[in-house]
Amino acid sequence: MKSSTLMQQPVYLQSEREQFLDDVLTGLNAERKTLNPKYFYDATGSELFAQITALPEYYITRTETSLMRAIARQIGEHCGAARAIVEFGSGSGERSDILLSTLPGVVRYIPIDVSEELLASTARVVESSYPHITVSTLVADFTAQLQLPSGTPDHRLGYFPGSTIGNFLPTEAVSFLQSARKLLGANSKMLIGVDLAKAVDKLERAYDDSAGVTGRFNKNVLVRINEELGADFDLRNFAHQAFFDRRRSRVEMHLVSLTDQRVSIDGTHKVAFRAGETIHTENSHKYTVDGFRQLARSAGWRSTTDWVDDDRLFSIHLLESD
Ligand code: AVJ
């Protein structure tokens, strides 16, 4: 996420490919190499992530879904006034069904995602199950400056499931929540899924599964750079790595260079890797219930209610604005 609003370039000045190339070169020329996790998600990456959600080790999605089902009635009681739902990073759009079926007052559903195809299929599914709901899809990176479509009714409920907020640094999460509060306006609420800190071995297994799907997901960003930016990464020369950093309370994913090597990108750019050097590809921050409440409050939300599953793996936070 951009740290400065003033200096942010209007997105229309750069094509998507140029933006991708720019981000990749900046990230790989840095002292500590990084790539933004949002670049995992082309069609292949989204499909690999869908496979991750079904892995025995990856407890997050199934825990959140069953918690949502368990608390649906209570969400209905707290959010009964909601007229519009704005979903940040809707992805395959399956989760929204639980919410829509418990909130009969909702007449507008606004899923935001970078994938036009996923949005189109989400719109079809929602419109056919809920004929009284108007679906307005927003093809956008939800960390960008957003504007809601005109006619979006008041009493908006933001929905940010999946613990995707964990990909942000805590400071970025605060600015995201501030922007979301401004976007949603007065009398709005926000429902956020947050993965909790837990035993290290459980966390590390969730991000380094025995079937190797998370490794393929991680390496998919290199596949994309090869295919879309004309690079020559040899996937066999990189290894998937995931570990929990206790101090920062986050799982980090990296791609470790297995040899000294040089990679060429877009014909003219060369990037050198030392054996053992890594590309940091993702952070997944793990919160405590109280830690997340405080973070939300520092972004100007009232943290009113939250729910945790019986195994205390995952929390869902309801935030309210005045
Ligand atoms: C979709 C960002 C919530 O951080 O757990 C899954 C992505 N990365 N396995 C997460 C992911 C590795 C996922 N989020």
Bridge partners of 262, per DSSP, are: 272
Please give the pLDDT value at position 7.
52
Give the residue, by CA position, lying nearest to ligand 1 atom 2: 164
Q: What would you measure as the largest C-alpha separation in the chain, in angstroms?
A: 59
Mutation probe of ligand 1 site: the residue of 167, 284, 287, 315 with most atoms within 8 A of C-beta: 284
Please give the pLDDT value at position 8.
54
- Is the beta carbon of 215 within 6 A of some atom in ligand 1? no
Mutation probe of ligand 1 site: the residue of 95, 167, 176, 315 with most atoms within 8 A of C-beta: 167
Asked whether 100 and 85 are in contact (CB, 8 A), the reply is yes
- Is the beta carbon of 163 within 6 A of some atom in ligand 1? yes
Closest ligand 1 atom, residue 251 Cα: 4
Distance CA 317, CA 190 (A): 8
Whole-Å CA distances, 225 to 31, 44, 232: 20, 13, 8
Ligand 1 center to 194 CA (angstroms):
12
Please give the pLDDT value at position 103.
97
User: At 75, which amino acid appears?
Assistant: I
Asked whether 163 and 316 are in contact (CB, 8 A), the reply is no
Give the residue, by CA position, lying nearest to ligand 1 atom 13: 164
Asked whether 282 and 242 are in contact (CB, 8 A), the reply is no
Q: What is the Cα gyration radius of the chain?
A: 20
- Is the beta carbon of 164 within 6 A of some atom in ligand 1? yes
Asked whether 305 and 78 are in contact (CB, 8 A), the reply is yes
Please give the pLDDT value at position 302.
97
- Is the beta carbon of 203 within 6 A of some atom in ligand 1? no
Please give the pLDDT value at position 221.
98
Please give the pLDDT value at position 251.
98
The bridge status of strand 261-265 relative to strand 134-135 is unpaired
Ligand 1 center to 77 CA (angstroms):
30
Evaluated on CA atoms 195, 217, 207, 246, the torsion sign reads: negative
Distance CA 279, CA 225 (A): 13
- Is the beta carbon of 206 within 6 A of some atom in ligand 1? no
Task: Report the predicted TM-score, pTM, of the whole model to 2 decimal places.
Answer: 0.93
Tokens at 206, concatenated: 């969730």
Instruction: pLDDT tens for the chain, 322 residues: list them.
Output: 434 444 555 555 578 899 999 999 999 999 999 999 999 988 899 899 999 999 999 999 999 999 999 999 999 999 999 999 999 987 776 778 999 999 999 999 999 988 888 899 999 999 999 999 999 999 988 888 899 999 999 999 999 999 999 999 999 999 999 999 999 999 999 999 999 999 999 999 999 999 999 999 999 999 999 999 999 999 999 999 999 999 999 999 999 999 999 999 999 999 999 999 999 999 999 999 999 999 999 999 999 999 999 999 999 999 999 8
